[in-house]
A = this chain, B = another copy of it.
Amino acid sequence: MKPGQRQQLAEKIAGEITLSDMPGKALKKWRTSFQISAGSLADHLGFSPSVISDYESGRRKSPGTAVVGKIVDSLFAIDEANGGSCVEKYSKMLFSNLDEDVIYDLHDFSNAVPVRELTGLINCHCICGDGNQYVVGYTVVNSLNAILTLSPNEFNRIYGWSTERALIFTDVSSGKSPMVAIRVTPFKPPCVILQGINHNHVHPLVQKLAERDRICVFSTEESVEDIIEKLRKQEW
């Protein structure tokens, strides 16, 4: 299970609960969907069972975000302790199989972060641009699989996600094709990071294409795993 997918599922559930007119009912719907009893949920949270009941019955009409977060966390943790079948099942519903092979990770920060801060963290070398823009999230895309398997529509979706986000391409050979792909789509990320390439080997065309769309480009030789781990760990 990719962390990005887990997170997106959690957001979906939390969002549904939050937006519901009766958060308690929504809460109950998800708890029962996960086949978790009120008692074990309460146990896991360290509450008495009456608390769960109070929420679900609507005596507490508007639970705070902290409580909703804790409950969703517990739902996931309990399910994962049981093998994670529900989390997996519902994640499958949220994502096409393609996303699995193309998007390595994807995350939204809770506030805008300077590009420089992000690139510094994962030892990037600047190829062009000044790194003074801000991004609110990142997407790690497997370049090879993206080019091999995505339909034009799906391409747009990946890039579409990238407004105000850093787009990290893994295992690039020269960086040319990712930049060409960006050139021909309507959405432009403020920042592109080419992974798995030394800055001396970046194709000269990359800079030209990037300047055309005012995108700042970096390269990094850190491993994909390291990058994902470092970015995840950061409190943004």
Contacts and interface: CB of A to CB of B under 8 A. Distances in A.
A12 interface: yes
Contact of A110 (B7, B10, B15, B22): B22
Contacts of A110: 16, 20-22, 25-26, 29
A91 to B, nearest CB: 10
A136 interface: yes
Contacts of A28: 111
Interface in A36-66: 61-66
B111 A18 contact: no
Interface residues of A, number: 55
Contacts of A80: none
Contacts of A61: 64, 66
Contact of A63 (B10, B26, B65, B109): B65
Number of copies of this kind of chain in the complex: 2
Given A62-B64, A65-B62, A136-B33, A16 B108 contact: yes
B163 A93 contact: yes
A89 interface: yes
B15 A10 contact: yes
A28 B136 CA distance: 12
Interface in A1-37: 7, 10-23, 25-26, 28-29, 32-33
A93 B137 CA distance: 13
Interface string A94-116: 01111000000000111110000
Contact of A160 (B21, B64, B93): B93
A125 to B, nearest CB: 29
Interface in A60-76: 61-69, 72
Given A18-B69, A19-B72, A29-B110, 20 more contacts: A10-B15, A11-B11, A11-B15, A11-B18, A14-B15, A16-B108, A16-B110, A17-B18, A17-B65, A18-B68, A61-B64, A62-B65, A64-B64, A65-B68, A93-B161, A93-B163, A95-B157, A96-B154, A96-B157, A97-B157
